[in-house]
Amino acid sequence: MKKILFLLAIAFISCSKDHPVDEDGLLITSRAECYVSNFELLGVDFQTVRTKNAVIDTTACTIDVTVFYGTDLKNLYPQFTLVTDAKLDPKITGKVDFSDLTNPKSYTVISGNRKVRKTYKVLITVQSK
C-alpha cells in the first residue's frame, strides 16, 4: 500500500505547476528553438531510400530529398530529428504515402515551450533511370 501511495505522489508531483506537461504528456520547457536537424526516409525494409542526405532549409522550412528510382512512395517511413524538447505534428505512427509529388506532405515542429510553430514541407524527387 505504501508503494502505491508513493507512486501516486510522484505522479502528482510530476503534473504540478512546477513541471507542466502538454496534451501528449510531454514536459513543457522554456526552449523556444524550433527546427528539424536531420531527416531520414525508410522503405518497407527499413533501409534508406535516399540517394544522398536530405537538404534541410530551416529558413524556408523545406526538406528536399531525392529517392532511388523505383521507390514505393506509398509505403515510406519518415524519421525526423528535432531540436531538443520540440515535438512533431502530425505524429508519425506508421507508413506514410508520399506518392502525390505535386502536394508535398507538411509537418509542423512545435518548440519546447509550445509557443513557436514552424511548418516544414517534404519535397521528394525521384532519381531518373
Q: What is the DSSP letter of 40?
A: E
Q: How far is CA 120 from CA 39, 100, 128, in A?
A: 11, 16, 25
Question: pLDDT tens-digit profile of 74-109?
Answer: 999 999 999 999 999 999 999 999 999 999 999 999
Domain 29-126 sits in CATH 2.10.69.10: no
Question: pLDDT tens-digit profile of 32-60?
Answer: 999 999 999 999 999 999 999 999 999 99
C-alpha cell at 3: 508503494
The answer to whether the beta carbons of residues 55 and 112 sit under 8 Å apart is no
Torsions phi, psi for 8 (to 5 deg): -65, -40
C-alpha cell at 73: 512512395
Q: Which of 38, 19, 39, 37 has the alpha carbon at shortest distance from 29? A: 19
Model-wide pTM > 0.85: no
